[in-house]
Structure 1
Amino acid sequence: MKLKPKTYLKLNSELKTVREDTTLMRYFSIRCNEENYKEGEAYGLNQLGARYRNTSQFKKAADLHQEALEISEGINNTEFKVLSLNMLGVVYRRTDAIKTGLDHHQRALALAEAVQNPSHHIQRHINISLNSIGHLYKSLNQYDLAITQFKRALKLEGDLGNKLGLAINHQNIGDCLELKGDLEGALENYRKSLAYNEEIDSDYGRTICKNSLAQIYMKQNMPHAALVLLEPLHETSKNIGDYFITSAIFINTGWAHTVLGNYDKAEAFINEGIAMAQNHNMPSNVLYGYQKLSDYQLAKGNYQKAYEYYKRADDYETQISNATNLRYMTDIIVRYEAEKKTNEISVLAKENEIVRLRLRKNQTTLLVSSLIVGLISSILYILYRQYQSKNEKRVLSLEQNILRSQMNPHFLFNSLNSIKLYIINNEQKNAVHYLNKFSKLVRKILEASSVKEIPLSEELETVELYMNIENIRFSNEIDFNITIDKDICPDSIKIPSLTLQPFLENSLWHGLSPKEGEKMIHLNIKKKGEHHINIEIVDNGIGRTAAQTNKEKRVLKRKSVGIRITKERLANFAKDYQNKFDVHIVDLFDDGGQPKGTKVILEIPTV
């Protein structure tokens, strides 16, 4: 107390061994206040806040960090301002208050990056802010962008030799890879994170990693392996006091027991996990719990209850992902990237000025040439960035439009109506069968919309689900089948995600819907030379001429844009390949010259 150090590093080196003792930290803060030692008081309040946060007492934690921030602003201490802002951001993110949390992390990052010759403490908090931006991208389902941020932080943590930071970033990268469906990549990063946590002997880190590993084992249908990891964590996680991770552990335990058929244990664990999440204001964990309760009721054959929990989970998801937060997050991303580019241009301009001053005396000609080259390079760079930005926006717009096309409200409403009729007619097996297919289709469409390309096998699985759902409304009259040449491996061929559905929808509603009698759609995949495959969609509908006549007679005309968007996406996809794509639409006629359907041929490049 007599020395009254002004930096975080000196304070922390003196108090590191007792900073987790809430009684001592409270006493230390009071004494610092009495002695008018503001740096010490801010340090103590932040340490108290961190302990409350890790025991899920978020309101107390936020109040303490806010008080520390006000003290730090009063003495204009940048280190403690950055610390307090990041601490507040973490608390708000843990309670799903994304907008408020991001605002605090952005302020912290701006302050930290403005410091010349930053201290070790400031560098650590730059990494914390980068992690938060990574979490922002993850919230927007932009997993590749999130991984880029986490890898940046990972490198900086490696430079600092901070094993805790390395553990945290490997965990974050694993989370993103798991959400992308790359379970092996996720396992690798979770295991690296666990190794670092073992090295620094962190119970908290070990608990998080083991829960994540168990979750992967569940997705790989290994419930026994998952329980081996989860069961020892029940008491450990409660002792730690972080109910965010504890509630997830209990819900995952219930999931494992559901798969194993231990229904009494499953229900008890899932409900206990949901209760923890509700008591500590953790909406995302409540959503997760309701999803697992729906699966549990489905496994027991209680279809009505399964549907009720499915609806509750859907309502929670809507609350969490509200449009205001998403718009705010998008604005934050744009603002952050714009500020970074502005700073980079400013740094380049300063460096050019230094060079100009050094060469002025005896290199006038070289200076003028360099400035001209620099100006031209800057203009070309700006033009290139504008072109790249426009292209990225165009691609994003195409992906959003195709998702809206896939998930149009009429299809969703009509599909749910068809399933509802099965429920009303007491055809439970059919209702559950098609509800499962419908939920799987929606999940696949949402997952596919976040990636540029997917294996052909996954695309075929998606369209088969789509046709099964649509066939309900045609009273299962449509003969739909898929044939693949034996020398084609669908798992090794990539195509843009969500490509085939617009063509199938066109065949259904313009070709087959007005047709009487036998109805057929065949999807044939054939090899065409060494560099292409042909995907043929053949129907026996009324033909394009009759379909156009019907369309013109309708009072309400719906403008179809799905096929046009798909062609644009295929064109963008083909840029990464040596060969071009092509789309042909062929009218089919019988021997008497009468229309007998349509054939769509998509030529997809493979190299």
Structure 2
Amino acid sequence: MCLLLLGAGLVAQAQDSLRIYKALDSIRLLPNDTTKVSLLIKTGRQFSRYFDAAKPDNLFWQEALHLSQRLRYSRGLALAYNELGTSKRNKSQYIVAEDLHEKAIKYAEEAGDSLLISYAFNNAGVDCRRQDKLQQAFDYHLHALKIAEAVNDVRNICVATNSIGNIQLTAENYDDAIKHFDRALQLEESSNNDLGVAINLGNLGYAYQGQSKLDLAVQYYRRSLAVNLKIDNPTGMAICYNALGAAYKEKKDYATAMDYLKKALAVNDKVADKIHVAESYLNIGKLLSAQGKHDEARKYIQQSVDVSTFWGFKSMLMEAYKALAADYRSSGDFKRSMDAADKSLLYKDSILNDKSTMALTQMQTIYEVDRKDNQIKTLEHDKMVNELRTKRNVVFTFALAGFLLMAIVGGFFYIRHRNLEANKQTLLLELNSLRSQMNPHFIFNSLSSIHRYIWSNNQEEASDYLTKFSRLMRLILDNTQHTFVALNKEIESLKLYLDLESLRCNGIFEYYIHIDPAINDEEVLIPPMILQPYVENAIWHGLVHKQADKGMLHIEIVLKARSLVCTITDNGIGRKKAMEIKEKKGKMHNSVGMKVTEGRIDLIRKINNKDAGVIVTDLEDTAGQPAGTKVTIILPAEFIF
């Protein structure tokens, strides 16, 4: 029969192995991208039981890890390390598991995935709890809890809260443990997670039993048992029956305790892990020993020893021989008590040796894993260096050819460039000359305005006017020291000028300045005083002669491609009527400011070899009558950076 079962097991294992390699080969044909990483992780979960039983590392997760390293895909690395760490923990390799989960934390943080970060911290906390590193486990779970609460990740909140409760339970901080188990229980109930509900009810029972509140502990054990019966969970049932047996033993109700322990023994036949069978035999033996039924007690303890010896449960053997020693001592058989105690100590030493060996093996595993990772990184680096070398040789060849070509053509362009630079310097000198003409002209016009204003208005308003004029003069003196100024400085001086002209004209017009929101007026540059002559022209030749409704002046500045487009629109009388008025007054001279500015714009166009110019458009109403003028000034866009 055993041979048949063994043969069937080998056939099933061979079939699983064949399916795994077929699946792996089909995935390897896919392009190396993040989708392939996700598929490897998912397929690895499907075959995780096979790899856990067969002992080797999960091939799919290893492949996902290496591909993520090549792609520098942080999220894929975090997922792969999480899965590999949990797999190692399931094999009791807690040191390796902690190392892998710490790497998962690092890459999850690089990916910025809060759910993954919280999950990795919880995993590392469980690893530390299994090693009795309670403070470090507490820190990991607390960190996971804070992150999970920030994003309302209920699953990880439950795991972290339950784990912190278990740490407090181990440390015998029962009040804190109860608070955390209560919160975890509420969350599991709201999520309809029956298994989580059963676990937390049982944990609350342990906490209340620790406080010697045995009746309350029994209530919670029974509630947990009811849920485990509902979901048909044999492991949970066995745990609850054993817990109830221990509680009733403590209450000295030995009959009820025995009833529950025998139920635990019966249900353990359905549990794959036979350590629970050994535990049930041992608990019954201890209960009988407490009642003074030594012969019967020793039979059950011996059954625990037999099962533990067959399956190699050293920790259970240590406890069983310890119980035998206590039983012999209580019956006065000190020699047998000493023999049993010696065997218990032998198993304790063996367990310590196993732990030391396992710790050493795990540290060696960590070293090997890190060494392989470094080898992969080194190979990737060498591959990249070789590719760069090849590219460098190709670039060098083309660069040499290009250099020879440039050497041939360079002489011609050098001479041409030298001539262009000479022309450019000449144009810049002309531009500076025109700017020096512009500034005295504007100052003269402004002083004339102040003179007329003082004679026609009271002293208080004249003082206000002079204050604004002095600010404007300071800005003009500052701005005109430079070929270009920041747009916000130019707008500030333009607003001051418009405020002065509005005061001077008794508020016969209103103005609006609109700058495109896409323009950073601190970074965009504009020639100083380039807009003022056109604004002045709009006021004094268009708006002051308007008699019907109020004058409106609208200034708009937008950025189109690499050009700064400035539009000055007024609803004045138009150019035709303005010319007629000038003819009647005998003032036929052209504005010096307009001429100078047109000259500046023409020179800017020549220097920059870009579009620059002025377009004047006469506006008409629906009846075809003059309705104002629109001046569009196009300048090449200049920036500070």
Max radius of gyration: which structure?
Answer: 2
* TM-score between both structures, scaled by the size of structure 2: 0.39
* TM-score between both structures, scaled by the size of structure 1: 0.41
